[in-house]
Structure 1
Amino acid sequence: MKTPLPTTTISHDEIVAIITKFYTFLTTYPFLPATAIKTPPSEGWPEEYCDIWRKMGKSEEVVDLLARLPYIDDDNWVWYHDTMPINYTKPLNLRRIKEHYEEKRYVFEPSGVALPPHVFSLTHGKLYGKWVLLDIKARTITELGVLGGVQPAEATEEAKVGGDAWSMYPTRPIKEFFDACQDKMSGKSLVASRNYIRC
């Protein structure tokens, strides 16, 4: 069993600032225009959106964070290979959640892996990418790879059904994760691809 990380206490505003900084960094490359970053008004995204997000069964703390986050509104951009950012404010995604969430859950969570109410995904990992899971309770990021990346031996079928498998993948504090992403993407090994940064 993985050793728990020390508890970190950062506010929603700090989490929003960290993610906003990372998205702003991505726009310094020619493939993602600054106009693709959609930021909420000062009061947050509309309460109508929050009512829809509650249908996912997530905690109020998750809904509150979703209402404050910026989103990448560009279907052609991925963080890195097979790792597509999820735009929870996109009309199609709002409709999927509102009308057909159970049938469309695979768009928002890795198939076959139950996530608890305090965890949601910032990305869709497709087959060989990563689901970047934000745990609002622990203030951590977990990188879950369906077919690629580290596959924990402890992730049994029982753990998947019980909702524990996600927590067995590599996990770091939120700020540490995004700082590491930016450092890696800024490194000499970076190669610019058509729609993502290949490290």
Structure 2
Amino acid sequence: MADPNVSPDPRLRQPAHYSRQEVVSALSDFYEFLATLPHIDSSAIDHPPPGGWPEITNQSLAKWDIHKPDEVVELLRHLPYIRGEIGERFNWMAPECFACDWRLASRSDLRELRPPPPAMHWLRQNSRAEWQWPEWVVQLTAGRDREEWVLLLDTTDGTVTRYYSMYYVYKPTYPEGDPRSWRDRCCDETLPIREFLEKWRQKYVRMEWLGIPNEILSAIRTGWIPFDEEEGKGDDSDTEDDEPQPKGKWADDTTNLVRIYKEHGWPHDFKRDECRRALLEWKRAQPDYVKNLDYD
């Protein structure tokens, strides 16, 4: 619940308010959008039963030394989740970014694995000994390494802020003692969750991000490289979307991917399955193709 004693958030155009239903709805809508892309199947998206995921409880979290307010636990119980592998394969939702599946906290067998699987380090980092954010903050995404993108949901106001673990060099936004000052150690953008995820959706629409099916090391390729204003004009995209294409150029190693997407009707008449097959054929023709993987 929002603190009535704090000043208006300087990062927001208008006040934001937390609603569990809105968080669930925003994530569900974004995940369903991802399922229209070639690299995530709708069968990998799980929606909670009417009473929430029964395996997510205060007790199951406590076994990982994770302690959250009851309201936050109820949110975790009602979130949709994208199923991923415990090993090396992930259902990526952004570059170096996969969705956290809090149901894994109930897997007692995973606590005993040494070293922990790459997909599990985020859960250990949420323990009381390591978690560096307030207890009302929920980690929604994680990555494989130090360049991971971590989305942090603040359940006091329903906003999301991205933490980039390599560095932060942003001027502090909040005064000392402000309950939101933890965000000053993150990126300098905070948005309501639906607005934040819409910006990510537009990156796919504009093909700034390109999903590649079942690629073991990276299922998202960064396709569009924006120019700074002083660098001059770049190519124009012929996509029609809610936000203008920034000035820039296509990355040299993504021009074929862009062509395949466009040939299959992206974004307005997209033939998803046909595009997926074409992308797999393209991938198999690459020198770095790993032949012992089942891409089908």
CA RMSD of aligned residues (A): 3.3
Query: Taking every aligned residue pair, what percent have the same amino acid on both sides?
Result: 25
Q: Distance in 2 between matches of 1:96 and 1:131?
A: 24
1: CA distance between counterparts of 2:20 and 2:161?
18
Q: Which of residues 11, 16, 22 in structure 2 aligns to 1:14? A: 22
Please show how residues 80-159 of structure 1 align to structure 2 within 5 Å: 80-90=94-104, 93-95=105-107, 106-108=121-123, 109=125, 114-125=132-143, 126-147=145-166, 150-152=168-170
How far apart are residue 114 of structure 1 and its match?
0.8
- 1:118 Cα deviation after fit: 0.5
1:63 maps to 2:61: no
In the alignment, which residue of structure 2 is the partner of 1:178? 197
- Where 2:93 maps in the other structure, the secondary structure is coil
Report the CA distance between 1:32 and its aligned residue: 0.8
CA distance, structure 1, for counterparts of residue 70 and residue 57 of structure 2: 9
- Say if 2:83 is the partner of 1:73: yes
**Residue segments in structure 2 that go unaligned for 5+ positions in a row:** 1-8, 224-296
1:44 aligned partner: 52
Mapped to 2, the partners of 1:64 and 1:178 lie a distance apart of 22
Structure 2 match to 1:3: 10
1:79 is paired with a residue of what secondary structure? Answer: strand
- The superposition leaves residues 5-49 of structure 1 with CA deviations (integer Å, 9 ceiling, x where unpaired) of 453224211210110000000011121111101111111111x42
Name the structure where helix makes up a greater proportion of residues.
1
Corresponding residue for residue 220 of structure 2: 196
Using the size of structure 2 for normalisation, the TM-score is: 0.54
Q: Distance in 1 between matches of 2:196 and 2:165?
A: 19
Match of 2:183 among 161, 167, 178: 167
Unaligned runs of 5+ in 1: none
* Equivalences, count: 186
Whose relative contact order is higher, 1 or 2, with alpha carbons under 8 Å and at least 6 apart? 1
Which has more radius of gyration? Answer: 2
Distance in 2 between residues matched to 1:145 and 1:97, nearest whole Å:
30
CA distance in 1, matches of 2:22, 2:140: 16
Report the AA paired with residue 81 of structure 1.
Answer: P
* Alpha-carbon distance in 2 for matches of 1:9, 1:97: 38
